[in-house]
Structures are given as structure tokens and as C-alpha cells.
Structure 1
Amino acid sequence: MKNEATFDLADARLYTPGAVLERGVLQVRGGRIAAAVPLQEWERNRDESVPVHDAAGANAIPGFVDVHVHGGGGYDFMTGNNGSLEEICLFHASKGTTALLATTVTAEHEELKVAVRMIVRAMKRGNRGTEVAGIHLEGPYLNPIRAGAQNPAHIRLADPDEIRDYWVLSEGTVRLVTLAPEREGGMEALRFFRERGVTVSIGHSDATLEETRAAVSAGASHITHLFNGMRPFHHREPGLAGAALMLPELAVEMICDGIHIHPDAVRYVWGTKRRDRIVLITDCMGPAGKPDGHYSFDGMAAAMRGGVLHLVNEDGTEGSLAGSTLTMDRSLRNVMSWTGASLEEVLPALTIHPARQAGLADRKGSLEPGKDADFVLLDDSCKVQQTWVRGIRA
């Protein structure tokens, strides 16, 4: 169906790539951005036939792009159905996310195939709320030593036939893959996906510095949730964490909930890593937005207390973190608070940087002519007031 969304968003503080227009107008035509102009210029040349939405001086920013999100609002991308996938998208739209990669977890081959088919169907059908812009396969070709909340029973060596199955079933919608390149078949899987234009991320991996360098030489360009599920830094073997910080080719994901990474560690990365290689994610799980209680992920018991998810060991004690309940708007506010950086400085890490890593920067991630009219109105406390996806209010 053709998108007919046409209007002018007037009197907004527009965050464009080149400048912040203190009083600007975003012109939307057919669901895409036609122009971003100063208010006075718009008033001189205004087309009176075009409807006007008054932003009342709010901050108008590009919509957030989350390349690592498993679910939310009580549902996840592995076990949901068509209706529940829309609920995930409505939940994240309410937090300012306008595009996401539906992220899978390590599971049996047939279960992953079902999930991929379901996500592809949802993408074709379309939905209200956040756009599902592709798939992120997190696993199953990981290192069990660094399993984290991934089910070790389903972690396996890369299988060429399985990989081809996922690719064919995805109809080319896989945009990001997390794998452990040091494992048998890992480098072959890396090359398979790179040959098809997919961004390859190193994660849930025990790779050394040299193994990471070899993977980067083969085309890896992304790190899954920095510091979590990886060989840590050591002064005699910098490991994957050290490589992630040192190698300029690698973009790093960070879960900035104050639990997965200490705020001072976030501040350190912000001050040392190239800013254009920082990508903020949620790693959000299905229970986000729901009450504390007991949940299950791929047959593994989990509990949420105070909004923090942990696996539950057989003896009832808390195990490893089981993803997060973070949302992108909270990530934005946290990083601004912890680093002292401005809204303008932090925004790219939630918008154009993830869009670039997912191969979506031609239509997502910034308020530029020709791109989808994905934008969010924030108040001065960076709380979400409205979210618009391709010119339609979510």
C-alpha cells in the first residue's frame, strides 16, 4: 500500500546531521522526508494545502535504531505469533525506537527456522509501531565457554547446510550475525555471510587478540554487547575485549542499563573508542514492561526482580544475567548522565551508527531528505512524547 503521509512538522528543534535548527520545520511527503528548513523560510514559502503538526518547540530527533532486541511487552521473536510481534513493536515504539532487527537466540535448528519464517512473514505484512527492518541471528555458532544466557545445549559448530537454510528462509533479510570465529567452522561461516553483504559480529566468544584480528581481516566489523559474553582484557592477553577497544574497524555494542556495564566503564569507552564506532543497544527480552516474576527462555528458568533478569540455577540461586529490560530512551538518558555528553553528541550512537552497521543508513538513522520520516519528539528531559514511523504516528 502506498504511503500517503504528507504534512509539515512545524516549530521543532530539529536535530539534523549538519546542525540543530532551533526553530525548524520537517517537511514530510509520502512518508519520507522532503526537507528540513528554518521556520522563517517555511513561513515565506509555505504550501497552504499541506497539513501542519505543531511540535510546540519539542526536540525532534531521528528515531532510534536497535540492532539487538529479542522482545518486549511480554513477547519475544522466538515464540511469538503475528499478533504478538506487533505488540513487541508497539512497546518499543513507545520508547522511541522506529526500526529494529528482530534478534533470535541459540535454539534447535527447526525452532530457529520457524522463528525466521515468522519474522519474514511479519516483515512482508507490515505492522503498527516500530518497523522490523531485518533479522539479527545471535548464534547458534557460539563458544559454550562464553554462553551467558544462551542455552549451551543448543550451541554448536557452524554447519554449512544449516547456514544456507537460514539464509534462504530469511529471503535476504538477515542483516547481522553474531558468531564465535575461533570455533571450528567459524571463519567459514563469517565468509559466507560477508559474501552476501551481512554484517558479522563477534560475540559469545573466547577469541584472543590475534584470533580477533584474523576475523577482522576476513570481514568482521562488529562486537556484540561489549564486555559481556567474551574473553576479558588481560595485560598479557588483551582478548576480545581488548581487541574491541583497540581495533578501529570494530564497532562495539553497549548495554547501558548500569547493570551489564558499570557507568564508569561506559565513560571509559566513550572517552577512548572512536565515537562513530559506538552503538547503543538494548538486548531487551520479552518480560520488559511486565511485572517482576518468573519466566522461561528456551527451556531455561529465569526470574526478574526490580526489572533485572537472571537465569535461575537448579538449586534456585541466581545465575548469569539473562539479557536486559532496557529501552533505547533510557539508554540515551543514562549515557548523557554518565558521560556529561549532550543530546546532540549521544544521538548518533542510537541512530545513524546502528543504521550503518545494519545496512540501513540509506533510509534510516538521520533527518535527511529522501529518508523515511522516522522521528521522535522528546521533551527537555529526553522523555518520549511522540514516535512517528514513516510519517505515521505509532
Structure 2
Amino acid sequence: MEHFIIENVSVCLEDGRMIQGEILISNGRIIEVIEGKSGIECERFNGNGNTLLPGFIDIHIHGADGADFMDGSVEAAAKIAKYLPSEGTTSFLATTITQSPEAIHQAIYVNREYIKGPMEGSAEMLGFHLEGPFIHPEQAGAQPKEFIVEPSLELLMNWFGESLTDLKIVTLAPERDSGLSVTSKLHESGVILSAGHTKATFSQMLESGDKGITHLTHFTNAMTGIHHREIGVVGAGFMDERFTCEVIADGIHISVEMLKMMSKFIGMDRLILITDSMRAKGLPDGVYSLGGQPVTVADGKAVLADGTLAGSVLKMNDGVKLMKEVAGLTWHQLQLISSQNAAKRLGLYSRKGSISRGKDADLVLVTEDLEVLCTFCKGAIGYINEKLTYGQEGNPNG
């Protein structure tokens, strides 16, 4: 479908308005957002009155559908990217885990090869989120401790080259970066620095914020919490508006009460929903692997043998749904935390993150309770739910 219209939809606009209308799409881009019904003659896709949102952007995901970005194969990357539109995700950052330098290098090389290839109908890989190995061993969580090292610009350049091409986010423990020298240099290079798996104090977070830390990895998890005499990294997330906060909204990593508190006191402009999902997402309960470690998945929870949470099996649309339910968020607020904020954070808002003329036609059609009906990746259908009448008169490619 090079040229078509999505009609009969409630469109969530970037200014907060909801309109009943249609979207004209051509060659993967949004050509026009039309209120009401136009007389344009072309193929039409009937949204049956459902809600159209900008496609979700997941900036922290390890795997899905049995594959992991650390598997070191183009096929694994392709499998994940093909699966993600089923949950409304249209773009993402391939996220690594603490492993040997050789394993990380291989994962980066292979996934870069995937980026070069065609991705029609699949979610778009936007680059990399390097989670570890520059973390604190006492806050390792499910990250293998034996491969943890101190922050190293040399290692990063070995993996990504001197220009650090495709490196978008680095998660590190700022207290492990002597003099915050690596942090400062990465910040100067335009890489997003994120504090995570860290034992930093509140004062250390303020100092690291001055040197370039502007992001918090899976906020509240694997970091120092709030105490009445030391409010830690979590306190910094609430108090310091320089920090954007990743949120795993599954009700497991973060309680619904904490999700409500984040919504109320941090606000919509600094929250970014992520999944942090591992390879078991989309598959039945059972035993899987993460970073070479066995992970047991049961009832939506993924844990190591000692009970440590090991990523999630969360789908993006379920995270959006939970935020809507527990915090009473509007469609506009939901689009902020599921797409717009991430696009802005990555410097991609000129082409992603909202439904606007000229942007990529990354779109997700959802029901009132956030069931995904159809996902468009640059105008190509990446997923369609059997519940959406398809192939009827008025829908293209029937």
C-alpha cells in the first residue's frame, strides 16, 4: 500500500486533541491528518471507530518470541522486530546485557548488519542501549557479575568505533566512573548517559547530572531507594527534573501505588515506558535463559533461581493499559509516555513520536482497553488482529 487512507478513527494529536478523522499515507509517511471525512479517492483502511496512536517506542528491550539480541544472529534480531508490532511497538533500541567483551562485540556487529537490511512490516531498530558491563556488582540484579568492569571509553570505541555510531544509551553506575571522565566524554559525543544498577547517593547523582547523566534505567529497580536521611537515586528521579525515568509498568517491578506516585509527582514529560523484556515474551511459561542464566517464567514473572527478577515478559500495550487504569491517564498522556517522550529523548521527534504531517507512518490502532488491532510500520502493516474485520469492502489488500 504505497498510497492509502486510514479512515473512521479517533486520532490522538500531539497537541492533546482527539479528532474523528482519517490519515492520508504515502510511501511510508503521513501526508495529511484530516478531521472528518475527505473525498480523496484511494484505497481505504477502516479503523471501525477505534483509537489511533503513534507507534510505541521501546528504548529498553532484550528480546521476545524466543530470541535475544545477545544471540549474535541476524535471524534473532529479525524475529524480535517482526514480533513487536503485535504489541504496538514500531521502533526500539536493541539492548545488550553484561557479558564478555567478545560477546558484546559480536552482538553489536550482528545487529548492525540487521539494521542495514530491509525491515518492511517490522519494528525499526534505532540503535543500541548498552546495559552493562559498567555497573555496580552489588546492584547487578540479573546481570552476570563475573563480566562487570569499570567504565571504559576504549572498550566502547572497540565495540562502536571512534564515532560511537548507533550507540544511543549507555547504562552505568556513575560512582564506578572515576572522576566521571567517561560520562563527560560520552555526553560530549551525544550519547545518552543513564544511571542504573547503581549504589549512588543523592549527592553523587547531582554531581553526575552536572557531568552528563540525564536518564535513569528501569527507575526504582536496581538502584538506591528513598530513606529519610538519604534519598538516593530514586529521590533524585523524583526531585531533579534533569532526569528522564524509564518505567516497567507491569505491576511486578513497580507496585501500582508507586506507578500512581510517579504519575502524580514526576509527571508525564519525564516518564518513558519500557518493557525490559527477555526472550520468553510471547511464549508459554517455562524455563528460558538471560545472559547465560536459567530464568523461570510463571504467571507473568521472570526470575533467576534465587528469586531475582530477570527482565520481564511485559508487552508495551499492557504497560500502557496498566498506566491508564491505575493513574487515570488520558490518551494524550499515554502517547507521551509510550512514544513522544522517547522520540524526543533520542532526538528523533522530527520523524517519530506523534501523528503529524511528514512523519513516519508508525501507527497503532487500539481498542478502549488497549488491545492492539493493527500496527503500521512506516505505512506497512506489521500486525493485524483477527478481531478487526479485514478484507471487507473498504479495506485494502483484502
What corresponds to 1:333 in structure 2? 321
8 Å CA contact 1:179–1:186 kept in 2: the answer is no
From 50, 67, 79, the counterpart of 2:59: 67
- Return the alpha-carbon distance in structure 1 between the equivalents of residues 95 and 179 of structure 2: 19
- Return the alpha-carbon distance in structure 2 between the equivalents of residues 148 and 167 of structure 1: 26
- Return the alpha-carbon distance in structure 1 between the equivalents of residues 298 and 95 of structure 2: 23
Offset, 1:216: 0.8
Offset, 1:19: 4.3
What corresponds to 1:389 in structure 2? 377
State the AA in 2 paired with 1:302. Answer: V
Matches within 5 A, 1:342-357: 342-357=330-345
1:32 aligns with 2:25: no
Determine helix, strand or coil for the equivalent of 2:175: coil
8 Å CA contact 1:117–1:170 kept in 2: the answer is no
1:370 aligns with 2:358: yes
State the AA in 2 paired with 1:382. Answer: L
- Return the alpha-carbon distance in structure 2 between the equivalents of residues 310 and 19 of structure 1: 39
1:125 aligns with 2:117: yes
What corresponds to 1:252 in structure 2? 245
Offset, 1:21: 4.2
What corresponds to 1:217 in structure 2? 210
From 8, 26, 34, the counterpart of 1:11: 8
State the AA in 1 paired with 2:242. Answer: E
Determine helix, strand or coil for the equivalent of 1:99: strand
- 1:28–1:125: structure 2 CA closer, same or farther, 3 Å change rule? same
- Return the alpha-carbon distance in structure 2 between the equivalents of residues 369 and 267 of structure 1: 33
Q: More displaced, 136-145 or 122-131?
A: 122-131
1:116 aligns with 2:137: no
Q: Deviations over 1:159-194 (max 9, x none)?
A: 232121123189611111111111144722212221
State the AA in 2 paired with 1:68. Answer: H
1:93 aligns with 2:100: no
1:323 aligns with 2:311: yes
8 Å CA contact 2:303–2:309 kept in 1: the answer is yes
What corresponds to 1:315 in structure 2? none
Q: More displaced, 290-299 or 148-157?
A: 290-299
Offset, 1:274: 2.9
From 207, 210, 233, the counterpart of 2:200: 207
Q: Across the two proteins, how many residue pairs are aligned to each other?
A: 381
- 1:144–1:165: structure 2 CA closer, same or farther, 3 Å change rule? same
Offset, 1:80: 4.6
- 1:170–1:6: structure 2 CA closer, same or farther, 3 Å change rule? farther
With structure 1 as the length reference, what TM-score do the two structures score?
0.93
From 133, 143, 147, the counterpart of 1:150: 143
With structure 2 as the length reference, what TM-score do the two structures score?
0.92
Q: Deviations over 1:187-243 (max 9, x none)?
A: 222122212211111100111111101111112111001110101111111111111
What corresponds to 2:71 in structure 1? 79
8 Å CA contact 2:279–2:288 kept in 1: the answer is no
Q: Deviations over 1:68-101 (max 9, x none)?
A: 0000011100015212211111221100000000
State the AA in 1 paired with 2:172. Answer: L
- Return the alpha-carbon distance in structure 1 between the equivalents of residues 185 and 265 of structure 2: 32
- Return the alpha-carbon distance in structure 1 between the equivalents of residues 8 and 17 of structure 2: 13
8 Å CA contact 2:16–2:332 kept in 1: the answer is no
Q: Deviations over 1:236-286 (max 9, x none)?
A: 111111111100010111111010000001101110003200111100111
Q: More displaced, 19-28 or 243-252?
A: 19-28
- 1:28–1:260: structure 2 CA closer, same or farther, 3 Å change rule? same
- Return the alpha-carbon distance in structure 2 between the equivalents of residues 184 and 200 of structure 1: 12
Matches within 5 A, 1:243-322: 243-312=236-305, 318-322=306-310
RMSD: 1.6
Q: More displaced, 342-351 or 228-237?
A: 342-351
State the AA in 2 paired with 1:327. Answer: K
Gaps spanning 5+ residues in structure 2: where? 383-398
Percent of residue pairs identical: 33
- Return the alpha-carbon distance in structure 1 between the equivalents of residues 153 and 169 of structure 2: 17
Runs of 4+, deviation exceeding 4 Å: none
